[in-house]
Amino acid sequence: MKKLLITIIILAVQFVCAVNAKVISNEKINDAKVKTASKIITNLQKDMPSFIKNGSGPFVAAIYDSDGKLIVKTANSVVNEHCSNNHAEMNAIKAAEEKLGTYDLAPYNLKLYVTAEPCMMCIGGIMWSGIKEVYYGVPSKTVEKITGFDEGFKPHWFREFKKRGIVVYGNIEPELGEQELHKYVNEGYEVYIPSR
């Protein structure tokens, strides 16, 4: 009986480790946070095709409050709104600040979820918004490899965010997001990078 119990415990630990094996964070991995983020990011990935069909870029973001209530959901709108700053995260921050009537989101303890790793600009935008937690799906290196988008340079951003009290979790359920990025490229949608 004791042996069986030990075997079950070992298997359970291995399962939890396997589930979270790929997730990275700048804090000790919190399984409950990963579970919530997996659900939200999977849903954002499922929303990607309809946003793309309406002219948006292949990235979707959402901001939730600490009670798990959705504040805003936005997609990248660089092409359809003619603005190179209109990444999904920047649009989400702008919409949340407009909705709450403030430039400082910190008192609201908000969490940002996004289908891919924030780029260089969005890392800055997040830092100045007062967002407390960031969760993303597909890592930048994979986005660049699949699409050719330039994500910028971001030295030690996990560490820099930690210094500023911002929690980051990455590589959450990236597979579906990767599929959508492949589809975006294969279907001939625009990869918007400035000409150099």
**Active site members:** 89
Of 64 and 149, CB closest to Zn ion: 149
b/e map 38-69, b = 16+ CB within 10 Å: bebbbebbebbeebbeeebbbbbbbbbeeeee
> According to the binding rule CB under 5 A, does residue 61 interact with Zn ion?
no
H/E element holding 70? Answer: strand 70-75
Which of 75, 92, 93, 119 forms a contact with Zn ion (CB under 5 A)? 119
Of 20 and 59, CB closest to Zn ion: 59
25 is written with which tokens? 């964070």
> According to the binding rule CB under 5 A, does residue 62 interact with Zn ion?
no
> According to the binding rule CB under 5 A, does residue 172 interact with Zn ion?
no
Helix axes 174-186 and 140-147, enclosed angle (nearest 10): 20
Q: How far is the CB of 157 from Zn ion (least distance, A)?
A: 12
Which of 44, 122, 134, 168 forms a contact with Zn ion (CB under 5 A)? 122
Of 119 and 131, CB closest to Zn ion: 119
> According to the binding rule CB under 5 A, does residue 126 interact with Zn ion?
no
- C-beta of residue 61 within 8 angstroms of C-beta of residue 52: no
Find the binding residues for Zn ion in span 1-60 (CB under 5 A).
none
Only segment of 6-14, 43-51, 118-126, 182-190 that touches Zn ion (CB under 5 A): 118-126
> According to the binding rule CB under 5 A, does residue 87 interact with Zn ion?
yes
> According to the binding rule CB under 5 A, does residue 72 interact with Zn ion?
no
How many C-beta atoms surround the C-beta of residue 16 within 10 A? 13
Q: List alpha helices for the chain, DSSP H.
A: 2-19, 31-53, 88-100, 120-129, 140-147, 157-163, 174-186
> Residue 187's closest CA among 94, 70, 83, 49?
49
> According to the binding rule CB under 5 A, does residue 132 interact with Zn ion?
no
The residues binding Zn ion (CB under 5 A) are 87, 119, 121-122
